Amino acid sequence: MIDLPTVWAFILAFAVFTYVVLDGFDLGVGIVFPLLGTDENRARAMNSVAPVWDGNETWLILGGGGLFAAFPLAYAVLMPALYAPMIAMILALIFRGVAFEYRWRDPAHRSLWDRGFHLGSLAATCAQGIVLGTIVQGIEVEGRSYSGGWWDWMSPFSVMCGLALTAGYGLLGTTWLVLKSTGDLRERAYVVARFAAVAVLGFIGIVSLWMPFLSPEIAARWFTFPQIVFVLPVPTLTAGLAALLAWGLMTRRDAVPFPASIGLFGLCYAGLGIGLYPYIVPRAISIQEAAAPDASLQFMLIGAVILLPMILAYTGYSYWVFRGKVDPDAGYH
Amino acid sequence: MIEALDAVTLARVQFGFTIMFHIIFPAFSIGLASYLLVLETLWLRTGKAVYLNLFRFWMKIFAVAFGMGVVSGIAMSYQFGTNWSVFSDKAGPIIGPLMAYEVLTAFFMEAGFLGVMLFGMGRVSKSLHVVATGIVAAGTLVSAFWILAVNSWMHTPAGFSINDAGQFVPENWVAIVFNPSFPFRLVHMVLAAYLTTALVVGAVGAFHLLRERTNAEARRMFSMAMWMVAVVAPLQIVAGDLHGLNTLAHQPVKVMAMEGHYESYPKGAPLFLFGVPNEANQRLDHSIGIPRMASLILHHDPDHPVKGLDSVPDENQPPVAAVFFSFRIMVGIGLLIALLGLSGLVLRRRRRLFESPAFLRAAVAMGPSGFVAIVAGWVTTEVGRQPYTVYGLLLTGDSASPIDAPAVAASLTSFVVVYFVVFGFGIWYLLRMMRSGPVATEPPTGSQRKNPRPSPPTQPPGLGHGHD
């Protein structure tokens, strides 16, 4: 008999990671938007993500909807604890989402919507980082509900996570632009990507050193024998990918930095997972405790097994249709 | 205790406000996606430029409306947790999977193929492009299927048991999805979406016909829209009546509020056309009614006894005024729409469909009426099921998150400000695009770079003699 809650924890983890990578690069394009120079560069940067952004954001809905469906207790406890950053994220995503259409519809207010696109992307990213930090550091739970205050999410660690994710999405966004653009836009993307890469590696170091101090359980997982043998590949591979990223950025191999950045995100994500398993609300509610009844998980699993591969296939197809360097004249506007 | 009550009220206002904005966009995109599919298919079949021009015109409008639907929808998917966490914990095992299916079967499909539909002309073959349009259209309908299953289950819960933690546990998924009110609600909502879109298309066509009687695109869209209104409006009246009878069977208290029946009528109840609900004294003031008509409509027997709100404890009653008035607004607009459709048929028979300025002006005026009717109908059904979230089983007051009133007040204020700015601009852009009208545009500009697939011929026959 398969353990349905664990299966669903992995499916959700996959959905969230897919979201982080995919929306990460289009939010990242928004984060670095003011640094791209000319209006033509900005238009090309936006066109490089316009056909795919709402598909990317759908993974966020799957993450939220999936948590609601598979782990309703965790959803019910986490969302009130994350009230302010979640609302801020939603509102920020509204601003940057509509900018894709509005900037073309209203040249007179284009700078307003460009600013909305930038600030919305930035605020949504910070909010997501804060959400992550708050979950990692733990929240107060009593019975089946959140029992803390509505400012509890605010802490040095969560704010630092907000900054770290901003650097991370910035790296994904600029390396995406490196991959998709030519000429002046590509040059600028390379410059910004180098700064972002340095910042990201710095943040990876800080978070790695900070996390063990948040709880002895996390420390034990990383620093005691024999666990250390199993987790050691994570930092080792991270160092390898960091080197690959640096090489790609220095020698201008357009196709290297973006996958290398995704790899870095994957390893950090795996590192987080190692620190938090088997909890879904760290050190308060486990995956098993939060899981919906098997009848719910089974019903959804049938759909997920059939549909997720199809979704990945046609998502891949729509990326393939828009493959290659972005055409300056693309768009239907 | 007062504070707790306030936080719940604020959370309700926030949910109502955000969903009221949200519902407008999907309702429009359900209808418009199907219309786009019809237009593109007609273009491929006939090769007539008028269909391509209309397709391009409505596609741009669709893109803006769809974008607004996506971003306002994200707010909905997280609000269950942020503001209704107890409800989420308890009902999550049932409605969560249905919403997950909505994401898996509809949202991804729509988003994935929307990019191809909007940006892919010239990059993919014509037949693949029309398939993308078809998938987007199907996605909107599949989405309606799941979300109305969720909504209907909350009205007429079925197929579940309750566990020790107080959670609703699924027992029979077929019974859950096809719960008693689901088929009626789904048909009523999808017809409403088609009708609403037809009214908008008709209004835009009429607007341009008033400026230029010979505008081929305007004539074509106006004619198509008026056919749609003439066919769907009567169907909607039948569907609405059946939905009402279903509500009477499962939520009789809601029907009492809709009818303004404070008192019981042992020998036939009147149909009140107008009145002012007086909550404090539990009576309908200034009422104008037709004796025994309500018994005739609800029970097909003028003498059939009808129970009133006097048979329901006060704490189990919904707020009557909102339900009573919103119901009348919806039905009133529905009758006007049917009248518009009928007038269109008569004028068409006399070959004067495009010739009557009064009729064209009426069509312009009716343009937004579908949205008003949808929001009014939504108020009727959602306020009418109070004080419950899961009807008869879970009280709204017991469903909310443990969030302090000031936090909810702050988020509600932010939502109101952001929605009015963002969607205010958005609706203004939509109106501006509608006003500028369809044009015979350049042929689709494909990619200039090497394309592994030979570019499909993009110059449609007959292009180039369109008009602005």
Indicate the residue of B72, B173, B403 with minimum beta-carbon distance to A299: B173
Q: Partners of B160 in the beta sheet?
A: B170
Among A61-65, B31-35, B277-281, name the most confident range: B31-35
Q: Please provide the distance, in angstroms rounded to a whole number, between the alpha carbons at the two ends of chain A.
A: 54
Task: Say what angle helices B2-46 and B405-436 make with each other, to 10 degrees.
Answer: 20
Cβ contacts of A135 within 8 Å, gap of 6 or more? A78, A82, A281, A282
Q: How confident is the model at residue B205 (pLDDT cuts 50, 70, 90)?
A: very high
Task: Say what angle helices B182-211 and B320-349 make with each other, to 10 degrees.
Answer: 50
Q: Using alpha carbons, select from A311, A268, A253, A247 the residue that is nearest to residue A167.
A: A268
User: Which 19-48 residues of chain B touch chain A by CB within 8 A?
Assistant: none
The arithmetic mean of pLDDT across residues A104-111, rounded, is 84
pLDDT of res. B304: 86
Give this prediction's pTM. 0.86
Contact between chains at A295 and B169 (C-beta distance less than 8 A): yes
Q: How far is B193 from chain A (nearest CA, A)?
A: 22
Contact between chains at B100 and A69 (C-beta distance less than 8 A): yes
User: Which 418-457 residues of chain B touch chain A by CB within 8 A?
Assistant: 418, 422, 425-426, 429, 432-433, 444-445, 447-449
pLDDT tens by residue, B272-286: 888 888 888 888 888
Q: Using alpha carbons, select from A297, A300, A26 the residue that is nearest to residue B115.
A: A26
- What is the share, in percent, of chain B residues with pLDDT greater than 90? 39
**CB contacts, 8 Å: B123 with chain A:** 321-322
Indicate the residue of B113, B401, B418 with minimum beta-carbon distance to A80: B401
Question: Cα angle at B196 between B195 and B199, to 5 degrees?
Answer: 85
pLDDT of res. B141: 94
pLDDT of res. A109: 84
**CB contacts, 8 Å: A77 with chain B:** 85
Q: 3-state class of A326 per DSSP? A: coil
Per-residue pLDDT for B161 more than 70?
yes
Given the DSSP bridges, would you call strands A285-286 and A145-146 parallel, antiparallel or unpaired?
unpaired
| B314 within 8 A of B253, measured Cβ to Cβ | no
Question: Cα angle at B167 between B163 and B173, to 5 degrees?
Answer: 90
| B185 within 8 A of B355, measured Cβ to Cβ | no
ipTM of the complex: 0.85
pLDDT tens by residue, A113-152: 889 899 999 999 999 999 998 988 888 888 888 888 888 8
Tokens representing A175 are 């390396």
